[in-house]
Amino acid sequence: MFTGILSPELSTYPSNLKDIYDKEWIVGGSNLREIFKAFEVKKKIFLQKLNENFNFLTYIIGLPDHISHLNYLKLDKILHYIDLSYIKIDKFFKEILKTKNYDNIFIISDHGLTIYKKVFYFYSWIKKKRLFQFPPDREREKWYSILLKLYDIFRPILEPTNQLKKFYHYLFLYKGKKEIQNKINKSKSGIPFKKIKPRASLVIPGVFRFQSFKSNLGGLYLENRYKFLKKKIKEELLKDKNVFKIISPKNEFFPDFYILLKNKYYFSADPSIYNTRNTNVISHSLDGIFIAYGNNIKNGKGDKVCYIDIAPTILKLFGIEKLKWMTGKALNIFNS
């Protein structure tokens, strides 16, 4: 087992694998050169493992996803390099298939990619509904909104210089000035404990937290004293023309609401004076890839596949009964 290419450092199981591969492992992957080089490093290791005996082998390709998050690039450049990444992945699959005969192969994406035409700012939306008492931070929202406007103007016409990259990282990836630092503070044991944190959620202490899933999906977690507002919030959300569907899970570990926007809207947890903003954002979508091929797989084309069904399907392939807490079901894709 190898940690992902974006991990702070390489960790392996068995641990002696680290001694073999640590020198060529890439930490980060913050630019195109590193991202493509990282793919070549991981591919080389995986192809070596194909020559060993195994019952089950899994490999994660992060190439298209990592490229899609380089949003300081112009959109046409991002799309170009994503197309190039799929060409490289296809060639990689060819190398896998000619190495040896396999009983079964599954190709799965953890999400799809799509272009959103508008950004929906949930923080601004819920503030305007006046359902909660908010801290006075209007000035911060105003400046953030001005910076967004500038970014929308300059991104399509400027080449991605180091200054534009820094501006992008400041605007989209970091929560505040205290977290913008090049040096990583270390504990007495030497293990990094305070890193620059990505802005994927926004918290109002004692009130709620809402989270963007980097797509047209967001989650709202209410504190206990505000649970009584669930019905009112749901009613307001369903009135909004940008909202497609509200899902209310009955599980303490899940959000009180999953908010699914219409396809062209990207859900943002960032502070802003906007409710929506016209722009092009390439990011995750709920529609991904699922291909199954092999001796045990029957011919055909299925309906949409849910990710919770993947693990039970693989367990069934090995004749292993799924665990009781698994909510997914094995897909009907086998010959017998």
Which two tokens mark 292? 């199954």
Q: What is the pLDDT of residue 7?
A: 67
pLDDT-based confidence at residue 201 (cuts at 50, 70, 90): confident
Higher pLDDT, 28 or 251: 251
With a cut of 90, say whether residue 262 has pLDDT above it. Answer: yes
How high is the pLDDT of residue 94?
A: 92
Does 315 have pLDDT greater than 90? yes
Which residues have a Cβ under 8 Å from the Cβ of 308 and sit 6 or more positions away?
Answer: 326, 327, 328
- What sign results for the dihedral spanned by CA atoms 125, 131, 132, 137? positive
Give the C-alpha separation, 307 to 71, whole Å.
Answer: 27
Token code pair at residue 295: 């001796």
pLDDT of residue 93: 92
List Cα–Cα distances, 33 to 39, 67, 71, 215, 303, in angstroms: 10, 10, 15, 26, 38
